């Protein structure tokens, strides 16, 4: 009787060992990462490069549009000065209010935060404090 019990015990032990091995194999499979650390880091690096280039492009485009808007503002002010001079020959510009009838949306301001000079000067073109010497109003442009 005790020998038969021993056989049963051995069989159970084999069964338990096989079950344990299967459980360990499944555990190993379950926690095996889908990507290695190097693969994950490479993907993150590529995404970082893409994000940096997109951010750089958008920032440059925003700066370009501000420079162009500033140039349009300067041309608008020059047009108002020309119209004032045509309507009032010989009259000097002493106040920005004299230009108000010729500026539908009021005196424009630089979108990049610059200030405009020579607004009331007929002899000099209006310039932006942020503009370059060669191209007043054109500041932070990618292409000249």
Q: Does 119 bind Zn ion (CB under 5 A)?
A: no
CA distances from residue 135 to 17, 23, 70, 121, 126 in whole angstroms, order as listed: 84, 75, 11, 18, 11
User: Binding residue for Zn ion (CB under 5 A) from 77, 81, 84, 114?
Assistant: 114
Q: Find out whether 64 and 142 touch, Cβ atoms under 8 Å.
A: yes
User: Binding residue for Zn ion (CB under 5 A) from 70, 71, 119, 126?
Assistant: 70
Q: Does 77 bind Zn ion (CB under 5 A)?
A: no
3-state secondary structure (DSSP) of residue 82: helix
Alpha-carbon distance 134 to 113, whole Å? 19
User: Binding residue for Zn ion (CB under 5 A) from 80, 119, 126, 130?
Assistant: 130
Give min distance, CB of 103 to Zn ion, in A.
17
In the complex, which residues of this chain contact Zn ion (CB under 5 A)? 70, 110, 112, 114, 128, 130
């Amino acid at each position: 009787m005790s020998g038969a019990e021993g056989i049963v015990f051995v069989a159970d032990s084999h069964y338990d060992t096989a079950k344990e091995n299967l459980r360990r194999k499944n555990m190993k499979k379950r926690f095996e990462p889908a990507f290695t650390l190097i693969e994950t880091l490479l993907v993150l690096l590529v995404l970082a490069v893409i994000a940096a280039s997109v951010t750089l492009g958008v920032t440059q485009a925003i700066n370009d549009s501000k420079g162009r808007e500033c140039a349009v503002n300067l041309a608008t002010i020059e047009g108002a000065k020309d119209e004032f001079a045509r309507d009032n020959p010989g009259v000097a510009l002493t106040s920005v209010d004299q230009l108000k009838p010729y500026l539908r949306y009021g005196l424009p301001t630089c979108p990049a935060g610059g200030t405009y000079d020579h607004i009331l000067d007929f002899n000099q073109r209006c310039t932006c404090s942020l503009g370059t010497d060669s191209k007043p109003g054109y500041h932070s442009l990618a292409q000249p």
